[in-house]
Amino acid sequence: MSSADTLFVKGLTNVSCIDYPGRIAVMLFTAGCNFRCGYCHNPSLISSAQDAFEPFASVRERLVSRRALADGVVITGGEPTIHDVLPSVIEQIHALGFPVKLDTNASMPSVLEQCLPFLDYIAVDIKTSLRRYDHVCRLPLQEISARIERSLELLRTSGKSFEIRITASPDIVDAEAIEEMLPMLVNTHVHLQQFSPAVTLDESYRSLIPYPPSRLETFAARIRTVAAACTVR
């Protein structure tokens, strides 16, 4: 059994046409996350307990069967980079002939660096300004700031295609936070996403009112002053 086979997968979709730009992709969901974002729309993936999960060994066979339907794989979570075996998993998927996209919160730069040779696209979720990360993460602010900055440095020097995503949760993303985030967004492609209260990790977020579209457009206009592009979705 290879080290990759020790990764337990929470779910595998048939295909998605919206999660990997320009490709029809299979979505592979890993379990476990080192953040606790109150607005998280995948709370069932927070736990890393292995019951009811599928080992990667069997997932690999299912990926092979989808090669006629999909031309990419998206690895998402949870937070995939908390698993030390992730680089081996990505290498094996890449060897099957699939381009691979990784969704990550950028908190594990050492794992990300090992994955980069086998990645084709990366989406980084930046939650808020670095000084507010105590709202979503249990790590000391100085440590998590250094990790995220290192991950972004790796991506900028890697030659790989990547984007930054920001979910506009009103409790942690406001005009002040946007201003403080601008240095991280210089010359990047940014997606500003509407917060949805429908399904959240913290039930109190279900009564939080999302920003009106006009407010998101105001944020996006400010981001566009430094970013390569910013879309609102």
Dihedral angle of Cα 152, 59, 40, 184, to the nearest 10 degrees: 10
**135 compared with 88, residue with greater pLDDT:** 88
The top-level CATH class assigned to 3-165+192-204 is: alpha beta
Residue bearing the bigger pLDDT, 3 or 107? 107
pTM: 0.93
Q: Is the pLDDT of residue 2 over 70?
A: no
The percentage of the chain sitting over the pLDDT mark of 90, rounded to a whole number, equals 69
Q: For residue range 172-218, what is the model confidence (pLDDT) as tens digits?
A: 999 999 999 999 999 999 999 999 999 889 899 899 999 999 999 99
3-class secondary structure, 110? helix
- Answer yes or no: is pLDDT of 54 > 90: no
**What distances in angstroms separate CA 229 from CA 82, 178, 193, one per listed residue?**
29, 15, 14
Nearest-angstrom CA–CA distance, 42 and 116: 25
Query: Does 4 have pLDDT greater than 70?
Result: no
Residue 70 φ/ψ region, left for φ over 0, alpha for ψ in the -120 to 50 degree band, beta for the rest: beta
Domain ranges of the chain: 3-165+192-204
Report pLDDT digits (tens) over 105-160: 999 999 999 999 999 999 999 999 999 998 888 778 889 999 999 999 999 999 99
